[in-house]
Amino acid sequence: MRITRACRANPSLSSSLDVKLQKALLDGIQRFFNSAPAAAIKRGRAYHAGGNVTELECIEPNHLYSAVVQGGEDYEVGLEFTESGWAGECSCPLSFDCKHIVAAMLALRDRAQSNGASQSVKSPGQKGQKVKATPDPRPSSPLEAKLVEHLGRKLLPNEAGYLHQVQAFYSNAKFRRVSEPELLQLADRSLSYGSYGWKELELWPDFPRDEFLCWLYVAWELRRRNIPLLAFMEGITDFSAIEKEMGDWARRKEIAHWKDWFRDFDEKAPVSDPGLLELRLVVAPGEARLQWRTAPAAQFAELKQTQAKKLAEQVDQGALAIAPDSLPLWSATYKPWHYESWWSFKYSNATARPALNRLLRMPLSPDRVVAADGQPLARAAEPLRLELRPPNNGEGNYELELTGKDGSAPPPIFCILSGRPTLYLTERCLFHGPPADALDTALRKAIPSAALETTDGLRFLHATGVLLPEHLQQRIRTEPVNVTIKCQLKTTYPGSTSEEVAISVTAKAPGMAKEKFTPQGWQDESNFESPKKVEPENGGIVLHDRAAQRHFPRVLEPLGLKWEGYPGDWKLRLTKKTPELLVPWLKSLPPEIELLLDKELATLRDEPVSGSVSLDLAEAGIDWFDLKVVLNAGDTTLTPEELKLLLNARGGYVRLGKKGWRRLQFNLTPEEDEQLARLGLNSADFTAEPQRFHALQLADEAAKKFLGPDRVEKIQLRASELKTRVSPPLPLSIRAEMRPYQTEGFHFLAYLTSNHFGGVLADDMGLGKTLQTLAWLAWIRETVRAQATAPRTSLVVCPKSVMDNWQTEAGRFYPDLRVRLWRGEPAGELTHACEAADLIVINYAQLRSLWPPIASMPWFATILDEAQYIKNPDSQTSQAARALNAEHRLALTGTPIENRLLDLWSIFGFAMPEVLGNRAHFLRRFDAKDDPLARRRLAARVRPFLLRRTKGQVAKDLPDRIEEDLLCEMEGEQQTLYRAELKRARQMLLGLKSVQ
């Protein structure tokens, strides 16, 4: 037999075949499992637990066994135990390392364990003996006995398999500590529990005497981890047997933990407040160094290695803070894992210069960078420059010298730092000047005229910005380098349906090799012929102006391109959004760059398709209309299908086959835009699909421009009929005389209900929103609810401070209404409360605590008083309000809702969820800061569902003794707010009388 698992067994096995042999067999089996593949172990356990091992035969005791395992068919498994360990072979296609071998090995282990240590020789069976690999029907352990007794039957195969797992867990625990993965093997397999590492567990104070007690400890730990037990094991799991013992053990461990903690605690002296570290950079001959101090009155000191390490540790531990103006110096220099010093910058050290270069380019305060005497390092306003002096005779030397603006020699230079601009560091001043490599290290050079008066020599002078003598300037002719960007559409690979934009960037000029822009910068194209040299005219020299090349790579960065070395192009994947990316990029290209587009891409630069707008109407129910856009396009070559695509793109680009990309733009005057806004329309939202509008939304005079006068007159007539059609008399159950504006509000609410709308009553505080709402509630209870098969209760959600006011107002104006104030009862009381009350009043905090159960209750009407409490759509209060289940919804608010648009969206999300669309669409359409008509469109959209009156608008309806009606027995802060409103109303009334 081939061996697949060679695990070392106990080498001291003797021929006496005693208890030691059984232990060796079991240890060998366990080591077999430890080295078997995890997938095979997992599937093999499932096979074993399901009773798939139907036969187990001993061929040679304690050496050779065979088994039959049911899978897709019956598979024969051979198991062999030698001095090298256990091995298995199977007749399945895998032959080795399979689940069938694992299942057979588990059955063999169970049989060996169940026979007892005294029968270790015969434990797996006598030679030639076949045994069924199913649990012995007679209870063989206290755990099995309790299970059989509790269930009143034999164990099912899966139950027996789980029992064997617990027994194996107990057996393994005798010899070693058990681990977390082994414990989780006993959890419910239908659930998933993560385990990290091979963490050993302490499950009991003393090793359990039997398997049942072991199970109780295991179940205790599973419960502690909130892992549910298998249902058939719960009945025998009585923790009372170990509860006191485990409690005492936990207490002993807690005491031991604190004793160890107290023993390890090191009493320390009180820690002072963190100091403040100040740094400055000192420029000295040979090097620049950091200096430090931690007390404002102290002198700055040199930062040395020992002190630098100590300061770094204090900063890391929070014992030392860094002064704000010193933080840039610390951030730019401190390197905790650097082997070299980070506080000293020798000018000759190539690794130190980059850090010094960063520091000197920072916008630090003057006292942070100083000279050796502590005075601030000056920064010169005028740069250093190169001055060229011609030779005294034609064949002498030119002199090239670094000078100041006035031609004087600069101070001794400590260090030259490359960059833009190049920095020149001196003892007391920091200059900027020509490129660092212009003079190497010498500040004055003599250059033979025969070398300088050449093409390369003059190019050098031109690049360094030297002012040339007139006789040299006349010999130079400048040729611009022309840069070309070429864009082509290509398939991603041959036969692919996906496409990409291939972009190549080249530069060329007379007398210059053609160059291509790559990730490494501008490079000569090796496959091009050598450039034709431009012959000098009268000894002239051609120089190349590379200004156009300096735009790269910045010009390409907005596109996020990827480079492909072959064929050497930049690539942009073509998607639906590519035109929106390419078009603004094309417009942003500098004019000196030539752009070549293939035929299809060139259409992105074409003018948009112009179109005029008219509207068509179709009735879509009582008082509702479907509004459809009729498009008249200026391009007569477009088919109806193409026009529909353009319209649905809402001004975006559409690819129309060989016609390339086109987009639609409506020819609307500012006056027409404003007229559309008065209808709640925006040309950017036009599509081929109709939009549904209410008659009140289309009754504006602005509709005549797009619908025609006759249609608009019919719509206006229908809109005026709405108020007449839905103008019910005040219900007899309401004991109040309503003012005209209150009656109008009641009729508005009745209109909402008649059209199955929710809505918002947004009258100013003190105008009687509660009375109008009670009248509406009485009307729908007497009319609409009379049609229902069973009465239902309404719900008011309001601030805690006005709960009593609802009960008082209802008792005063609607005494037949049974009102119950919620006093914080459990959610389970809602059903009983609904049976005994017509109106339940809760506050917003109670709404949160009752959610989600309250959302499952069917409410007749739900009213949010002071609805601004749900202005934050992400709050739990707002989510709970939107989840309420009601036939009729009404939001009341006295707070102006024009201040913050999202407040309005959130309130309508409760009252009329679909009218303003989703949140992102709403903010994009109506919160556009650059669209002056957005608010007007929003007003038109919400017009049929919102009624708002101010005190100024209804002042003529207010009596002189307005206080008595508005206060309505209110007390405290609410009464104070109402009195303030009354004072303003009284002043307003006086003003109106004076005008009259």
CB 66 within 8 A of CB 79: yes
What are 309's two structure tokens? 């390490």
Query: What DSSP line would sit under 525-575, residue for residue?
Result: -TTSPPPPPPPPSTT-EEEEE-GGGGGTTTTTGGGT-EEETTTTEEEEE--
The predicted pLDDT at position 798 comes to 96
CB 747 within 8 A of CB 723: yes
- Residues present in the chain in total: 996
Say yes or no to pLDDT of 388 above 90. no
CB 738 within 8 A of CB 775: yes
Q: How sure is the predictor about 358, in pLDDT bands with cuts at 50, 70 and 90?
A: confident
> How large is the average pLDDT for residues 767-786?
88
Residue, of 976 and 321, whose pLDDT is higher:
321
> How large is the average pLDDT for residues 638-656?
82
Q: How sure is the predictor about 502, in pLDDT bands with cuts at 50, 70 and 90?
A: very high
Residue, of 714 and 731, whose pLDDT is higher:
731
List strand residue ranges (DSSP E) for 418-465, in order: 422-426, 429-433, 444-448
Say yes or no to pLDDT of 640 above 70. yes
Of the given ranges (547-556, 816-825, 945-954), which has the lowest mean pLDDT? 945-954
Nearest to 666 by CA among 585, 612, 741: 612
> How large is the average pLDDT for residues 186-193?
70
Residue type, 547: A
Q: What is the 3-state secondary structure (H, E, C) of 585-616?
A: HHHHCCCCEEEEECHHHHHHHCCCEEEEEEEE
What are 149's two structure tokens? 């007794």
Residue, of 664 and 737, whose pLDDT is higher:
737
Q: How sure is the predictor about 799, in pLDDT bands with cuts at 50, 70 and 90?
A: very high
The predicted pLDDT at position 11 comes to 34
Say yes or no to pLDDT of 133 above 50. no
Inter-residue long-range contacts of 348-356, CB under 8 Å, 24+ positions, other chains counted: 352/287, 353/415, 353/417, 356/288, 356/415, 356/417
Of the given ranges (37-51, 185-199, 209-223, 472-486), which has the lowest mean pLDDT? 185-199
Q: How sure is the predictor about 971, in pLDDT bands with cuts at 50, 70 and 90?
A: very low
Residue type, 385: R
Alpha-carbon distances of 835 from 784, 792, 810, 859, rounded to whole Å: 19, 8, 18, 12
Say yes or no to pLDDT of 589 above 80. yes
Say yes or no to pLDDT of 965 above 50. no
Say yes or no to pLDDT of 790 above 60. no
From the CB of residue 56, how many other CB atoms can be counted at a distance below 10 Å?
A: 25
Helix 934-942 vs helix 670-678: crossing angle, to nearest 10: 30
Best mean pLDDT range from 66-70, 360-364, 439-443, 808-812? 808-812
Nearest to 847 by CA among 810, 876, 821: 876
> What is the percent of the chain where pLDDT is above 90?
28
The predicted pLDDT at position 911 comes to 93
The predicted pLDDT at position 538 comes to 58
CB 103 within 8 A of CB 29: no
Residue, of 410 and 526, whose pLDDT is higher:
410
Residue type, 365: S
Residue with tokens 């080795």: 96
The predicted pLDDT at position 979 comes to 56
Q: Any idea of the CA torsion for 175, 178, 181, 183, to the nearest 10 degrees?
A: 110
Say yes or no to pLDDT of 39 above 90. no
Say yes or no to pLDDT of 334 above 80. yes
What are 233's two structure tokens? 């094991």
The predicted pLDDT at position 193 comes to 60
Say yes or no to pLDDT of 17 above 50. no
What are 662's two structure tokens? 């086109």
How do strand 301-302 and strand 287-293 relate by DSSP bridges? antiparallel
What are 320's two structure tokens? 């030392």
What are 402's two structure tokens? 């670094």
Alpha-carbon distances of 184 from 26, 163, 201, 598, rounded to whole Å: 22, 15, 11, 64
The predicted pLDDT at position 528 comes to 43
The predicted pLDDT at position 265 comes to 66
Query: What DSSP line would sit under 90-151, residue for residue?
Result: ESSTT-SS-HHHHHHHHHHHHHHHHH-GGGTTTTT--TT-EE--S--SS--SHHHHHHHHHH
Condensed to tens digits (0 to 9), the pLDDT of residues 237-269 reads: 999 999 999 999 999 988 888 888 777 765 554
Q: Any idea of the CA torsion for 926, 928, 930, 933, to the nearest 10 degrees?
A: 0
Condensed to tens digits (0 to 9), the pLDDT of residues 752-763 reads: 888 888 999 999
Q: How sure is the predictor about 968, in pLDDT bands with cuts at 50, 70 and 90?
A: very low
Of the given ranges (403-407, 426-430, 550-554, 631-635), which has the lowest mean pLDDT? 631-635
> How large is the average pLDDT for residues 214-235?
91
Condensed to tens digits (0 to 9), the pLDDT of residues 682-705 reads: 766 777 777 777 777 777 777 777
How many whole angstroms from its chain centre is CA 953? 47
Average of per-residue pLDDT values in the chain: 81
Q: Largest Cα–Cα distance in the chain?
A: 126
Say yes or no to pLDDT of 499 above 60. yes
Residue, of 852 and 691, whose pLDDT is higher:
852
Residue, of 971 and 243, whose pLDDT is higher:
243
Residue type, 191: L
Q: How sure is the predictor about 489, in pLDDT bands with cuts at 50, 70 and 90?
A: very high
The predicted pLDDT at position 959 comes to 52
